[in-house]
Each structure stands twice: as structure tokens, then as C-alpha cells.
Amino acid sequence: MKIFSAAQISRCDDFTITHEPVTSLNLMERAAKASVAWISEQYRDAGTFYIFCGNGNNGGDGFAIARLLYENGFNVNVFSEDQNAKMSGQTEVNFKKVKALAEIVCRDFRDIKNSQVKENSVIIDALFGTGLNRKVEGVYAEIIQVLNEIAIPKIAIDIPSGLFADKMAAENAVIFKADDTLSFQFWKISFLHPETGKYCGNVHILDIGLSRDFIKNEPSDDFVIDETLIPKIYRPRNDFSHKGNFGKTTIVAGSFGKTGAAVLATKAALRTGSGITVTRAPRCGYEILQTTCSEAMFLPGGDDFVAEIFLEDDFVAGIGPGLGTGEKTKKALLRFLKDYSRPLVLDADALNMLAENTENIKLIPKNSIITPHPKEFERLFGKTADSFERLELGRKKAAELQIFIVLKDHHTQVITPANEVYYNLTGNSGMAKGGSGDVLLGIITSLLAQNYSPKNAAIFGVWLHGKSGDFAAEKYSKEAMLPGDLIGELGNVFKILA
């Protein structure tokens, strides 16, 4: 799914109104009906809905939602700044419809401070939409602060008020904190970054019938990795095939005390379908690896740490987990990269060793995939003020080095050399444990070895990794799940794909 900016979303609305054709008021009604359908299903036992409406079109959505909820049998209280304030055209129409219903209580914003809010109730935020371009101040800021202190479920319509759709929030901004956000048709960039996404709660994308032609033809460099994209990438196995059809993977990993990293990466490569898998690790890990990963071959790269890295021509390498950053290992890595030109996958200590000298970063072969977490990214490319700025630096470096950057985060971003960004939607906080990154390296390296393009290997890999994590969390809980459990769930993910 494409992600559009606030300006593009506005153009999409206008295009739909012009070419469907449909009036702007009817489009607002569609949005309200979609919202009420979701709200009525999720909060069918709610006592009262407290709906806060601004003077712009987001407020118009709120007034229409109030009317439709009332018509569905719910108790509704509507709050606005000033019933005599100037409103947008559609908003004023929907406000008058609400005012005509004597059973709906219309009140001033400030009345909420003296209201006895019932526990079995819900707050709905329709103060500001995606058109917001300045910091919220005055009475609106006061009301948002009051609402954030009330401990009942909260729903934001289209976007939590105070957030911008596609950039970092203003410093010290007052922002509505939602439990659920009902977004019309599209994801917004701000939903997907940690500094801003934390205000959105669970995001639900509601289809309101915006123009498919506009969506298809409007360019975007930003996408979400969703359930419609992955089946286009996944390649089911041909029954008339053999192990040579599914690639040869070499995992270069491990050092004394860190053999587990090599085990996780190797097992992940095997479970992702690698035809032939080799682990190059120190001899101190031989028995562990041969016992736990009996389907993989072992090649020694040193005694207590890897001091030699060799790769046969038809193998694809994943290098980094648990290597350590000792001088001999670093020399082996740099020597290997100076003579190597095919795409590979680099993670963890491989990235930390390259980060020691910025000139060494240029040794990464073109079309390779690197998988840094934010601190590793900072060591490689420098400090940034926030995740928005970090992403822009990632775009610049991916283009400059002609590599793919998998920037690990709650919504991991796959950054391509062509300036595209793919945000992953799978995964959960239970994966925030040492070893999860080793699993990801094994998955992506295995896919690259199976002749998925670097772009598709990265996109499919982060989705598989996160989806397996979601299955593991469901089975074991976020607290108790282990990185090894992700590997065990890969088979269930492939089952649903097949």
C-alpha cells in the first residue's frame, strides 16, 4: 500500500469528488459511516460517547459520527469550541443536523472539566485532521490535556489531534493520546515512527472508496509492507525441484561465548528454505553447531574467533552475529570485502567493525543488505535528532552506497537505493530480545541465496521475521517468547502463504 502525504491525501479527496462524482458532503458521510460501523462493533456496550469536534472538516466527521451513533441507539454528548464559531461548509451542515436532534446534548469544550464522565464511556477526538500545520495552542491544547487524563477508551478520527501526517511533531506539542486511530484509506508516516506513533494506539485503515485511479497513478516513494504485497513476492516451490534450486547459504558468525548467535542465524536460514547451508565459525563452537544444526555443514574459521573468511563462488554470505570485534576478525572481514563484489548481508559486529573507519563502509558491495538497529546505524553514519531525520539520512546513504538498509525499529524500514522506503507492519515488543536480529540475518541471507532480489529478500525477510514473532507471541506471550521461537513459527507462516 502506498503512503501519501497530507497534500496528496487532499488531492485524492478532490479527485474522487470531481471524477466519481460525489459531493464533499457525501464523502464525509462515507467516512462517518465507516467509522460508526467500526465503533459500533468494538464498543457495542458503551454507555456514552463524548465526541469533541473542531471547526474544520475533521469536526464535520465528528458531528456526522455523533448523528449516526445516535441513530444506532447510543447516547451521545457533543463538545465544540463555540456554537457560533465559523465552520467549514460541510462541518456546518453536519453541526446543524446534530443540533436538530434534541436527544443529543451539545456542550462547550470547557464543560468536560465539570462533567461526571461515566466509566463505561468512550471519548472520540475529531478536533484536527491531516490539514493541521501548526502547534495546537489555546483552548484546544487545554482540552486535549484534560482528555488525556481521563481513564476511559479514546478513539482518534483519521489522526490524533496535534499530530502532523508526515513529519515530526512540534517541540513540546500537546497531542491527543488515542487507544485506537481510525484512518481513512491510508497509513500516515507519523503512525509509523516511534516519537509520533505512540500517540496512535492501534491503527485501523477504513476504506471510504477514494479513487482507485488516483491511488494507482499517484507516485509515492513510501509504502507499507502489507498482506497484499507479500503474495506478489513469495515464490512457492516447484514440485520438480532439488536442493540446488534453493541456493547455497554461508553464515559467518560466532566467537567464544557467542556460539548461540551462529546457531540462531543458521537455524533461521535452514527454516527459511536454504538448499545448502554452511556455517563458518570458530572451532570452539563445532560441537554445539553440529549438534543443534545437524542439517548444516561446519567450516572452521579460527579457534576462539573467526580469523578467516572464505566463500565459494556460488554461495551467498550473511556475516556478523556474535563475531566480536577483535583485531584478527576485523582484518579477516576487511580482507574479504576488498576482494568480494557480490551482494551479501551484514549485521551486528560486522557493521560495528566497519563503523570504526568510515572509509571501510565503502567496501560494502553494491546491492548488499545491511540490517542495523538505531545505535548501529548511528555508529555507521552519524547522530540524528530523531527517527524522521535518521530515515532521511538512511535514504541518502542507501543511494550513495547503492545498498539496501534494513533499519530495525518497531516498524522496521527497508530503504532502497532508489529512494523508496517500505515500512513493516508485522512484529511486536516480545521480539525486543538479544538474538532476534541474528534470526533476521539468517532469514534474509537464505532468501537472497534463493535468488530473491535484494529488495524482495529484505522486504519479505522483515515481514517473515515479524509475522513469526506475532505467532510466537500468541503462543508463548510477548514476555516469555524467545528468539528461537520465531524460527519454530516460520513453518506456520509459510503454511498460510501456501
The identity of residue 103, as a single letter, is E
pLDDT tens digit string along 194-216? 999 999 999 999 999 999 999 99
pLDDT on residue 111 = 87
What's the CA gap between 371 and 465, in Å, rounded?
A: 13
pLDDT tens digit string along 190-199? 999 999 999 9
The string of DSSP codes covering 113-155 is GG----SSEEEEEES--TT--S---HHHHHHHHHHHHS-S-EE
Check if the beta carbon of residue 125 is closer than 8 Å to that of residue 59.
no
Q: What is the CA radius of gyration of the chain?
A: 26
How far apart, in Å, are the Cα atoms of 467 and each of 3, 142, 358, 425, 462? 21, 40, 34, 9, 8
> CATH 3.40.1190.20: which residues of the chain?
231-497
C-alpha cell at 367: 546491492
What's the CA gap between 254 and 261, in Å, rounded?
A: 6
pLDDT tens digit string along 281-315? 999 999 999 999 999 999 999 999 999 999 988 99
Task: Give the closest residue to 377 by CA, choosing from 362, 403, 360, 397.
Answer: 397
The string of DSSP codes covering 195-216 is HHHTTT-EEEEE-----HHHHH
What's the CA gap between 134 and 113, in Å, rounded?
A: 25
What's the CA gap between 342 and 367, in Å, rounded?
A: 8
Task: Give the closest residue to 176 by CA, choosing from 150, 196, 156.
Answer: 156
Q: Please, what is the angle between helix 483-497 and helix 436-449, to 10°?
A: 40
pLDDT tens digit string along 157-188? 999 999 999 999 988 999 999 999 999 999 99
Looking at 150-292, list the stretches that DSSP marks H as alpha helix, in order from N- to C-terminal side: 194-197, 212-217, 230-233, 259-271, 286-292
* 255 SS3 class: strand
pLDDT tens digit string along 430-442? 999 999 999 999 9
Give residue for cell 465559523: 86
C-alpha cell at 445: 541471507
Give the other-Cβ count within 10 Å of 84's Cβ. 6
What's the CA gap between 281 and 289, in Å, rounded?
A: 9
The yes-or-no verdict on residue 316 having pLDDT over 80 is: yes
Check if the beta carbon of residue 300 is closer than 8 Å to that of residue 283.
yes
User: At residue 300, what are phi and psi to the nearest 5 degrees?
Assistant: -75, 140
Task: Give the closest residue to 409 by CA, choosing from 200, 199, 196.
Answer: 196
What residues contact residue 419 under an 8 Å CB cut-off, 6+ apart?
Answer: 221, 395, 398, 399
The string of DSSP codes covering 381-424 is H---SSHHHHHHHHHHHHHHHT-EEEE-STT-EEE-TTS-EEEE
Angle at 431 between CA 430 and CA 436, to 5 degrees: 155
pLDDT on residue 83 = 65
The yes-or-no verdict on residue 410 having pLDDT over 70 is: yes
pLDDT tens digit string along 427-470? 999 999 999 999 999 999 999 999 999 999 999 999 999 999 99
Q: How confident is the model at residue 269 (pLDDT cuts 50, 70, 90)?
A: very high
Q: Half-sphere exposure of 376 toward its Cβ, with a 13 Å CA cutoff?
A: 22
What residues contact residue 493 under an 8 Å CB cut-off, 6+ apart?
Answer: 464, 467, 468, 471
What does pLDDT average to over the chain?
Answer: 96
How far apart, in Å, are the Cα atoms of 93 and each of 26, 28, 30, 209? 11, 11, 15, 22
> CATH 3.40.50.10260: which residues of the chain?
6-220
pLDDT on residue 201 = 98
The yes-or-no verdict on residue 115 having pLDDT over 90 is: no
- Structurally, what CATH architecture does the domain formed by 231-497 represent? 3-Layer(aba) Sandwich (3.40)
Q: How confident is the model at residue 113 (pLDDT cuts 50, 70, 90)?
A: confident
Q: pLDDT exceeding 90 applies to what percent of the chain?
A: 91
Assess if CATH 3.40.50.10260 describes domain 6-220: yes
The yes-or-no verdict on residue 224 having pLDDT over 80 is: yes
pLDDT tens digit string along 357-388? 999 999 999 999 999 999 999 999 999 999 99
Percent of residues in the chain assigned helix, strand, coil, to nearest 5: 45, 15, 40
Region 27-50 average pLDDT: 96
Length of the chain: 498
What's the CA gap between 212 and 207, in Å, rounded?
A: 11
> How would you classify the pairing of strands 48-53 and 121-126?
parallel
CA dihedral 473→479→480→483, nearest 10 degrees, is 70
Check if the beta carbon of residue 49 is closer than 8 Å to that of residue 69.
yes
Q: pLDDT exceeding 70 applies to what percent of the chain?
A: 100
Q: DSSP label at 234?
A: -
What's the CA gap between 218 and 220, in Å, rounded?
A: 7
The yes-or-no verdict on residue 350 having pLDDT over 90 is: yes
